[in-house]
Structure 1
Amino acid sequence: MGGERSGRFDGRIALVTGAGSGIGAAVVRRLAAQGAEVCAVDVDGAAAEAVAKEVPRADFLTADVAEPAEVDRAFDEVVRRHGRLDVVVHAAGVDDPTAKEWIAEALVADRPPEVTGRLGDDAWRRVMRVNLDGTFHVLRAAVRVMVPRRSGAVVTVGSSSAFDAPAGYPHYAASKAGAHALSQSVAKEAIAFGVRVNVVAPGPTETGMAARTPAALRQGFADPRVRAYATPEEIADVALFLVSEEAANLVGAVLLANGGRFTV
């Protein structure tokens, strides 16, 4: 898609979180290929820098989306450099490898997973701070910049887990369901000021996060009746559609991109 639509984002200024890998990195590459000036933001500054170096018209910043001051500084710096901000794609997020291991062990043993009783406060808060609090910090910063200009488009990356709520993954499912509802509420507020907010909710996608998924759990996702794991580029294309003028009438949409595993 990147080639045939080379000028779709000409002149646009974009900020992408989680840009050091996976879906975020794919979004940076796609936006730049289609004409945008892109700031790649990641908690791993070296990873963001590596992505930015391989992409024309891209720079990078280091920020942890769980820290509101760092998010605000990143947005302020992009506006300082470019004078405005037109597009935000919020792809930063975390999973819980330990919970995944517990689910996989139960799958191999052919017994139900037992996670909630073992889930510590720190594990719960880590997932919530990044996936839910981080989404709030990014949305708040985006509307602060975009509302005065009465223009802008934002996409948050949710998850199909918000709908099927996998057994043994309560904190992740809750964090993403909260991020969906948060994004939709902000969408209905922001559109009055010309700012569009939407969500893409991927299913299994070949990212670094997926690479850490235990083999037994990956096999559990395998189903010949549906599409295989999505590529980061496929999810990035959905995100780019949502922030493009082609999606002008989409506000508060949650696009489920899970290869046909289920519908809602």
Structure 2
Amino acid sequence: MSEGVQQGRFAGKVAFVTGAGSGMGAAVARQLAAEGARSVVLADLNGEAVKAVAAELPAGRAVALDVADADAVDAAIAEVLREEGGLDVLVHAAGVDDPKAKQLIADALVGGRLPEVTDHLDDADWRRVMRVNLDGTFHVLRAGVRTMRPAEAGAIVVIGSSSVFDSPVGYPHYAASKAGVHAMSQAVAKEVISSGIRVNVVAPGPTDTGMAARTPQALRSDLADPRVRPYATPEEIADIALFLASDAAANLVGAVLLANGGRFTV
């Protein structure tokens, strides 16, 4: 390990990152390793993708994980505790969007009409988004708190969404799931700070991830406002997440940092 890595913000830390097979989660994992973390456990539903990212990192270990499976989340975090003796940093970046809803919105844009998504939103589509985004966040937060409380220390960062604030037309289930994520994270933050655990949220706007790449071009173009910064890179969002996880953010508890390039303010 180089001298620069040894002196990094996360030198000697144990970290767990969900959604680490691509996008923001992968960027967070890479940066944690670059800044000295002695162990970075990368978790993702896509087992092959997360193995590939973990293979890049000297301290990386991959876990195939569905965050919607509470037992699997508990087992994965418990394994970290057994193997490493504790958990210092937890970044939860796993989440899903709804390609069907996005296509309906894009088709409406091309056709010059208002989207009609709610009419076509079935129970399975609603539950899928809620199960991963909201239930999954609860499972990860709960497992992290259970592991960190005995040590009376730890930093948890959750990736939320700027859609909580602007509630995009035609995307009610996604906006609702992320609003729940924000509120839940803030409630947990106020509860666990007395145990030395800090919980904070990053709320990205459009970010150039694999999820964004699958967004229909008409909708991508609609979001590409020339008056503001372009789509964020995953690394830019990772920088904010890791600031929140670092000692420099010691006084930030229950914060929601809006990172949308100036599209709107709250």
Same fold, TM-score > 0.5, yes or no: yes
Quick check: 1:161 aligned with 2:163? yes
- For the residue of structure 2 that corresponds to 1:93, the secondary structure is coil
**Which residue in 1 is equivalent to 2:244?**
242
- Fraction of identical pairs, as percent: 69
- CA offsets 1:130-175 (integer angstroms, 9 cap, x no match): 0000000000000000011100000000000011000100000000
Contact 1:205 1:232 in 2 (8 A): yes
- Cα RMSD of the aligned pairs, angstroms, is 1.1
1:19 partnered with 2:20 = yes
- Structure 2 gaps, min length 5: none
By how many angstroms is 1:6 displaced? 5.5
Partner residue in 2 for 1:198: 200
Q: CA separation in 2, counterparts of 1:244 and 1:177? A: 25
Instruction: Give the whole-Å Cα distance in 1 for the aligned partners of 2:116 and 2:216.
Output: 16
Q: Is the Cα–Cα contact under 8 Å of residues 6 and 33 in structure 1 kept in the other structure?
A: no
Letter in 2 for 1:139: L
CA contact (8 A) 1:14 1:87 kept: yes
**What is the CA distance between 1:179 and its match in structure 2?**
0.2
Contact residue 41 and residue 60 of structure 1 kept, 8 A: yes
Distance 1:41-1:8 versus aligned 2 partners, 3 A rule: same
Instruction: Give the counterpart letter for 1:25 in structure 2.
Output: A
State the distance in 2 between where 1:64 and 1:58 align. 19
Aligned match of 1:173: 175
Query: Is the contact between residue 5 and residue 11 of structure 2 (CA under 8 Å) also seen in structure 1?
Result: no
Name 1:188's counterpart in structure 2. 190
Question: SS of the residue aligned with 1:65?
Answer: coil
- Alignment partners' CA distance in 2, 1:147 and 1:190: 8
Take 1:84 and 1:29, find their aligned partners in 2: how far apart are those partners? 20
Is the 2:157–2:245 contact (alpha carbons within 8 Å) kept by the matching residues of 1? Answer: yes
Number of the residue aligned with 2:35: 34
Match of 2:152 in 1: 150
Matches within 5 A, 1:1-264: 7-36=8-37, 37-264=39-266
Query: What letter matches 1:182 in structure 2?
Result: M
Amino acid at match of 1:173: A
Q: Distance in 2 between matches of 1:225 and 1:129?
A: 35
- Structure 1: tracts of 5 or more residues without a match: none
Q: Which amino acid aligns with 1:211?
A: A
Query: 4+ runs of 1 displaced by more than 3 Å?
Result: 3-6
Give the conservation status (yes or no) of the 8 Å contact 2:208–2:231: yes
Count of aligned pairs between the two proteins: 262
